[in-house]
Amino acid sequence: MNINFREAKQIITKSNIPGVDYVINPYTGCQHGCIYCYAEFMIRFTGHKGDKWGQFLDIKQFDTNRIKPQKYDDKTILLSSVTDPYIPLELKYENTQKILESLVGTTAEITVLTKSKFVVRDIDLFKKFENIEVGISISTLSENLWRVIERGASKPTERLDAIKKIHEAGLYTYIFISPFFPEITNYKKIIEKTQEYTDYYMFENLNFRPHNVPRILKIIEEHFPKSFSTYKKLRNDRSLWDIIEKDIELYCEEKKLSYSIEFHHGGFSKS
């Protein structure tokens, strides 16, 4: 892992994600290095041309005294959008923890999203916020698939254990079923396993980008050969996402779940 320290002008930045006013990305890069990660585009904008996603990390340096909690009252803040706030090196550098500590007192709606078991370290800190939700993202319960697509992140069962503990601590929890892999993501099984400690579910489809398409297709061909033709078809025939969306909708309605489906229609992006 290539580690650098970089001065950050702003550590809480305005966001252009719909429904999110500010984002906090305590690091540039992500130790998890998921093969489908859409945030890999960050390589181009952060002076990391030639570096491999998942193999570099910039530890942002910032002055916590400049964080004024009241500035964010009634706003929405996402932690994080292009890194994971609880990568293993957070235990050493504690950027996420320092930022959250500086924000105590805000009435902002804070959304924490991670693929890491280390999120439980901050349970007591989360409790200091009046408006916070903590979630994990997950695509699969299978360790075999986890090993191939996101082995830098915590194992699926570890993530579920973490969110269970967070819920038991009285915090509002959600599960982000993302990215959704057609014919592979068994979302019903994930829901059955997590329903008693999950307040709501969100769904997002697999986002194909030019940089990740060959990697994803290679993995599908090697590990899920029966689904290979489906994934190839997804390039031209996007109706499959509509079918999946309808299926999720029917299931969640029947189970009376709180949920939202954030499928970007198209699935393939030119950006």
124-163 residues in contact with ligand SF4 (CB under 6 A) are 150, 153
Asked if 141 contacts 184 with a C-beta cutoff of 8 angstroms, the reply is: no
Alpha carbon distance 242, 197 (integer Å):
28
Please name the residues in contact with 173: beta carbons below 8 A apart, sequence gap of 6 or more: 133, 134, 135, 163, 166, 167, 197, 198, 199
DSSP labels, 82-129: SS-TT-TTHHHH-HHHHHHHHHTT---EEEEEES-GGGGGGHHHHTT-
User: For residues 17 and 104, which CB has a smaller minimum distance to ligand SF4 in the complex?
Assistant: 17
- Does 117 sit near ligand SF4 (CB under 6 A)? no
- Does 48 sit near ligand SF4 (CB under 6 A)? no
Candidates 8, 11, 23, 37: give the one binding ligand SF4 (CB under 6 A). 37
User: For residues 115 and 167, which CB has a smaller minimum distance to ligand SF4 in the complex?
Assistant: 115
Tell me the CA distances in angstroms from 241 to 7, 181, 209, 246, 262, one per residue in order: 41, 10, 16, 9, 11
Asked if 190 contacts 183 with a C-beta cutoff of 8 angstroms, the reply is: no
Beta-strand ranges (E) seen in 109-193 are 109-114, 132-138, 172-180
CB of 128 to ligand SF4, least distance (A): 25
- Does 182 sit near ligand SF4 (CB under 6 A)? no
Q: Of the listed pieces 32-40, 157-165, 168-176, 217-225, which binds ligand SF4 according to CB under 6 A?
A: 32-40
Candidates 23, 30, 119, 149: give the one binding ligand SF4 (CB under 6 A). 30
Number of residues that bind ligand SF4 (CB under 6 A): 11
- Does 190 sit near ligand SF4 (CB under 6 A)? no
Candidates 11, 28, 33, 263: give the one binding ligand SF4 (CB under 6 A). 33
User: For residues 37 and 67, which CB has a smaller minimum distance to ligand SF4 in the complex?
Assistant: 37
Candidates 3, 39, 125, 257: give the one binding ligand SF4 (CB under 6 A). 39
Asked if 113 contacts 135 with a C-beta cutoff of 8 angstroms, the reply is: yes
Candidates 60, 78, 93, 115: give the one binding ligand SF4 (CB under 6 A). 115
Judged by phi (left if over 0) then psi (alpha if -120 to 50, else beta), residue 247 lies in alpha
Binding mask 78-97 for ligand SF4 (x = CB under 6 A): -----xx-------------
3 state DSSP class of 241:
helix
Side-chain-side CA neighbours of residue 58 (13 Å) = 18
User: For residues 34 and 248, which CB has a smaller minimum distance to ligand SF4 in the complex?
Assistant: 34
CB of 71 to ligand SF4, least distance (A): 26
Residues making contact with ligand SF4 (CB under 6 A): 30, 32-34, 37, 39, 83-84, 115, 150, 153
